[in-house]
Each structure stands twice: as structure tokens, then as C-alpha cells.
Copies of this chain bind each other. A is one copy, B any other.
Amino acid sequence: MPGPKAADQGREVRGRLLRVAAELIAERGWSAVSTRVLAERAGVTPGLVHYHFSSVHALLTEAAIGTMRGLVEGLGPLLEQAGTAEEALDLMLAALDEHDGRDPMSLLFAETYLAATRDETLRRSLAEVVTAFRDRLSRRLAAQGVAAPDQTAAVVAAAIDGLMLHRAFTPGLTAPAVAPVLRRLLDGRALT
């Protein structure tokens, strides 16, 4: 058996590289994250990056998907606690208020969306994460009698993402401003 002490340190460094990668994707953009900058910020030498990961792209993929999955799965339980559909929407609006389109998490999402259009593997992983969240939201809406819950959940999720993108260059787009409009999306109770 190899030394467990060294193995622990190795895992720690690997995790640090993943966290740094998520930061740098947001700061510099997916394709501008380089081996050397990653290593420097993680406090290791460049060679280590290709020891722990098969390529920079693989590191970025694991970092992005892992971070996004963590956030989405953290949001899930909160969604279950929401009594009404309006409360569920309020939860999404709170997320909108925390992210102005230029913060690390917003940028990580947007960068990953774009990178996914050019990489089949990433696209599948991303679809998994987003679909899982959308299904949770859909079930929540269905339980509240909202019509066409799947489509409604898809539109709400897309609208929140789109609003974050637009907020980056349209400051006035705050949660309180758009909340009344978004609430109309839940008004389809008597329809099909």
C-alpha cells in the first residue's frame, strides 16, 4: 500500500485545482484558462496539472459540472420546502438577486453553456444537471396545479438564466422589477 499521507495531499491538491479552475473559467473565459495560470494560483508547478488530469479541457469540464451540480443540488431541497408555486418562484428570484450576470457563478454557467455547444461529452453532463433541476421545479409546479408544468418549468429556468445574462449590461433588471411579470407565468391554472 502506498503512503496514505501522500495520497491525502494529492487529493487535496486535486480539489484545489478544481476550485481554482471554476474561478478562472469565470474570470478569463473557458478557452483562456491555461495550464500555467491554473498551477500558479493553486500554488503548484505546471507539470502537476497534467498529472492529476488528462488534459486542461478535462479539468475544466469536471470543475464546471461539479460546481454547477453542487449549486443545483443545494437548491433542490429548498425547492421542496416551498409550500406554494409562488414561494418556489420567489426562491428563483432570490437566486437572481444574488447574481448580477458578472459574478463568478453566473459567468461559470454561461461559459459552460457555450463550451457545451462545442463538446458532446460536456453537453450531455450539462443536460443531466439542468434537467434534474428542471424536473424538480416541474413537479413542484404540478403539485400546485400549474398547467403544463414541464414547459412552465423550462420557461422559468430559461427566463432566469436569460435575465442573468441581460443583467450584465442592463443594471435595472432586478428581481423586484421583474417579479410581477414572472408571476404571470404561474397563472395558467385553469388552462390546459
Q: Which residues of B contact A181 (CB under 8 A)?
A: 148, 151-152, 154-155, 185, 188
Q: Considering the complex, give the chain B residue whose CB is closest to the CB of A185.
A: B184
Listed stretches A53-61, A71-79, A107-115; interface member: A107-115
Are A151 and B178 in touch, CB under 8 angstroms? yes
* Total chain A interface residues with beta-carbon distance under 8 A: 50
The listed residue (B114, B126, B159, B188) touching A111 by CB distance below 8 A is B114
Contact residues of A: prevailing secondary structure: helix
Q: How many angstroms from the CA of A39 to the CA of B152 in the assembled complex?
A: 46
Q: Which of A32, A123, A159, A173 has the most CB of B within 10 A?
A: A159
* Interface residue ranges, A against B (CB under 8 Å): 29-32, 101-102, 107, 110-111, 113-118, 123-124, 126-127, 130-131, 148, 151-152, 154-155, 157-163, 165-166, 168-170, 173, 177-178, 180-182, 184-185, 187-188, 191-192
